Structures are given as structure tokens and as C-alpha cells.
Amino acid sequence: MTVTERAATADAPMSHAQILQALSGLYTGMFVAILSSTIVTNALPTIVADLHAGQSVYTWVIIATLLTTTVSSPVWGKLADLFDKKMLIQVALVVFTLGSVLSGLAENSALLLAARAVQGVGAGGLLALTQVILATIISPRERGRYNGYLGAVLAVATSAGPLIGGVIVDTSWLGWRWCFFVGVPFSVIAMVLLQKTLHLPVRRRAVRIDWAGATLITAAASLVLIWVTFAGDKYAWLSWQSAAMAGGALLLAVVFVLVERKAAEPVLPLWLFRNRTVVLAITAGLIIGIGLYAGTTFLSQYFQLSRGKSPSVAGLLALPMILGLALASTVAGRIITRTGRWKPFLVGGTLLLAAGLGILGLTRHDTPYWQLAAGMTLLGVGLGTTLQNLVLAVQNQVRLQELGAASTSVSFFRSLGGTIGLSALGAVLGTQVAHYTAEGLARLGIHATGSGGEVPKLADLPAPVRAVVENAYGHATGNLFLYTAPFALLALVVIGLIKEVPLRTSNALQDDRAVHKADE
């Protein structure tokens, strides 16, 4: 038996060194998941232009992954309550790697979206299972420290991704396909580390997977995303198409609830919503997810299409947000472990998030960079102090057998909020860019033809037209952040209603052993 195995099964908690050893594979897996997600952000304008696609494809390259990450997370969380967690996270890595390779081989936008969906299924497992395993071996009081480390890993991957992606795209003999291939070696390293360092006790139960619930929630979320993606472009927001899609999604959601009430092993247990903290944390996470994905997606596009920067430079210009997230996550995690107080960080972080979005809402084509940097920094610090701590607040109040479902429920709704928000904001961006472009061209005496939905290659445009397009993207991007800022204030109200409960000092395995001893 290894040191980690003895520590995991003994009554004494694991030491700091033993925990870091056990988590090395998890951190590497999370690194590759986030890296492969963010590496594409600066490459997207090149990818979409190369495939002759439009703004809807631009956002759906990201949404395809987010959607399957979102809807698969509760399934992975339920599987974590039933199966060997170590085996499951290795399976998730294999699925993720397969999706990455297929994305790099895609010959058209449809195949790319399908491959990105496969990638998202694997990412859903990595994100959900990492949170569950952290909660299994680390007490809530100590978890702030390791969540801080995890936040730092995510920040490094988030910042390295756009930079690496930019370099790859700017290197002619590589090309954008290597943005997907580059993560494969990291996946292999993560699998080796997991096999060697992660050892958890396995308690097997009879398995009943709620496939009906998973199918219904996927269908409902997909219908909502299709609706908000094309509303305002293919059809009006107030139209029979919108009514049909919104009504269909609502009907599917109602059927989902009815199915979950009778399911033996529901994919999203309804009893979670009887817990006040869980409900409020889920609501806040759903709202904050909009700000998270808006910042990481549209800032890169802004720097390239409004400021005319290369993918590599665009990655460097977005660093204030990533560095703010890394610093805030690490510092907040250490302070929470030392003091046991977590709610002040949620409140303060949400205020900073709203302030950052408000400043970015003033963005235009010629906005001074120091102003953009200030907004990005506040946005990053706000995200760094809220994302992991909402999950911590929930994990602190549930039992071992509920950890998987509770942890992934928060992540599920955060991703769902971000996915829906990203889809809606992408649709709004496309409509506003077309509107501002048409206005600008009219002032030049040029009458625009076509829908204007295709993402342009700035280098191919005449100087006067290029200036119009850059102004259009700058103005539209600022509007998106301005629309997002009130959601952060709404999240602040919700977080204010969460009751701060002292963090437990025992981990889930110790609590479970105590229950078994009491039963004996």
C-alpha cells in the first residue's frame, strides 16, 4: 500500500505534501482541459474566417463544448457517487483527448462543432470529478487553500492558452489545427500521474443511471441555445419561432422535473433545491457564469477585430484579467483556510465583478488600454474570489454521498448560465456589428449587401472599410459588457442572502468513517 493509500484510509488527515502528491494528476488534467478551451479563443477569428463561417459559428465553436460540458457534468457527478472516481477521471481524459484530435482533423465547421461537443463531454468529467475528489480527501476548512492552488492552475492555463494559440496561428508552418493537437501530450502526462499518485477507497453500489433525465435536460438546454443564437437574426425575438422554442424548452424542463421526481438515481436530485445555500449558490453561479464566458470570449475578438492585433498580441493584452484571477484565487484561498471566513470574499468579489464589467461597458475602438486593463483586472479579481468559493459553500453543507451531485450542480448551472449568456450575447454582437457597419458604410456612400454575418479578414479590407468594421466591433463589444454588468449586481443580491456557516475541519472520508462507526 502506498503512502497516499494509507493516508486516505487512515483516521488521520493527509499531510500537505501527501495531498499535493495525490492532486498532481488532477491539477494536470484540469490544466489540459482549460488550456484546450482557451487556446482556441485567439485562434477563432482565423479558424472561422478560414472556414468561411459567420458570428454564429464563432460562438458555437465555444458553445458546443460548453453545452456538452454543462449537460454531462451532472452525469459524471452521479457516476462519481456510484463508481471508482479515479477510473472515471481517466475515462474523461480519454474522451477529451479523442475530441481534441477530431477537432484538429475537422475539414468543415459542422465536423468541428461535433468534435468540440465530444471534447466537452470529457471536459465535463474533468471539471466535475476534480471538485468531487477534492471534497472527498480535503476538509472544507482546508479546501480554500487547495481551491486557491486550483484557481492558480486554471489561471495559468487560461493565460497560457491564448498566448500559445496566438503563437501557433501566427506560425505559418503550424496552423490553427495544432491548437487542438498540442494538448494531447499533457493529457498523457495527466493519465500517468493519476495512475501513480491518486489512490482512493472504492465503495461500490448498485448502478442506476438516469438516462431519461440526462436526455431531457440536454434537449431543453439545446433548444434554449438554438433559440437565443438565431433570435434577432433569423427571426425576431417576439415571433412564433421564438414562442415555439421557448415554449418547447419550458415543456421539456417540466417533463424533466417530473421524471426526476420518480427516478431512483436522478441526474440532478431535486432534494438539493430544499437546501437554501445550494439554491442561492446555484443561482449566483448561473448569473456569474455570464460574466466569466463573456470576458474570456469577446475580449480576444475585440483586440483582433477592433484593434487589429495579431492573435499573439491579443493574448498578451488580455493578461490583466488572467493575472487578477490567479492572484485573487490564490490569496483568497489561503485567507479562507486561515480564518474560516468565505462570505466576505463572495460579496467583495461580486462587487469587483460588477465594477469591472461596468468599466468594460465603456469600451470603444479607441478606448485607452489603461482603462481596458483596469476593467479586466477588476473582472479577473472578482471571478477569482467567487467561482471556487460558491462550490465550497455548497460542499460544506452536504454529506459524502451527496458531494458528487451537489458539486456538479453548482458547476452545471454556472456553465448553463455562461452558455446561454454567451449564445445570446454572440447573437446580439452579430446583429449590432452588422447594424453599425451598415451605418458606417452609408456615411461613406457605400451600400452594404448581404447579411454581414461573416467574420471578416481585416487585412483584405480597404482602409476606409476596415476602419468602419473596427469601430463597429469596438462599439458592439462595449455594449455587451454594459448589458452584462446588471447581472453581476443581481448576483450580489443573491449572495447577500447566503448564510455563512463555519467550515468543517474534517474531510468527507473521515465523516463517512465516523458514520460507519456510529452504526456499528
- Rounded Cα distance between 494 and 413, Å, is 15
pLDDT value at residue 1: 43
Which grid cell is 348? 467583495
CB 272, CB 403: distance < 8 Å:
no
The neighbour count for residue 198, using CB atoms within 10 Å, is 23
The per-residue pLDDT for range 455-470, each reduced to its tens digit, is 666 767 788 888 888 8
Cβ pair 394, 278 in contact under 8 A: yes
* pTM of the entire predicted model: 0.72
Task: Provide the pLDDT for residue 3.
Answer: 39
Grid coordinates representing 165? 494559440
Picking from 22, 120, 177, 105, the residue whose alpha carbon sits closest to that of residue 509 is: 22
Residue 172's CB is within 10 A of a number of other CB atoms, namely: 6
For the chain, how big is the Rg over CA atoms in Å? 23
Q: Please report the pLDDT score of residue 474 as a whole number.
A: 92
How far, in Å, CA of 242 to CA of 115, rounded? 28
Q: Do the Cβ atoms of 138 and 41 come closer than 8 Å? A: no
- Specify whether the CB–CB gap between 181 and 36 falls below 8 A: no
The three three-digit cell numbers of residue 169, written as one number: 496561428
Three cell numbers at 435? Answer: 447594424
- What's the rounded Cα separation, in Å, for the pair 189 and 234? 45
Q: Could you report the per-residue pLDDT of 476-498, keeping only the tens digit for each?
A: 999 989 988 888 889 899 998 88
User: What is the rounded CA–CA span in Å between residue 356 and residue 380?
Assistant: 8
Give the 3-state DSSP-derived string for 226-252, with helices as H, strands as E and coil as C: HHHHHECCCECCCCHHHHHHHHHHHHH
Is 490 exposed, middle or buried (CB count within 10 Å of its CB: 0-12, 13-18, 19+)? middle
CA terminus-to-terminus distance, the chain = 26
Of 277, 321, 278, nearest to 296 by C-alpha is: 321
Helix, strand or coil for residue 267? coil
Q: How far is Cα 489 from Cα 284, in angstroms, rounded to an integer? A: 10
For the chain, which ranges sit under pLDDT 50?
Answer: 1-11, 451, 514-520
Q: What is the pLDDT of residue 506?
A: 53
305 vs 42, 333, 448, CA distance in Å? 11, 36, 19
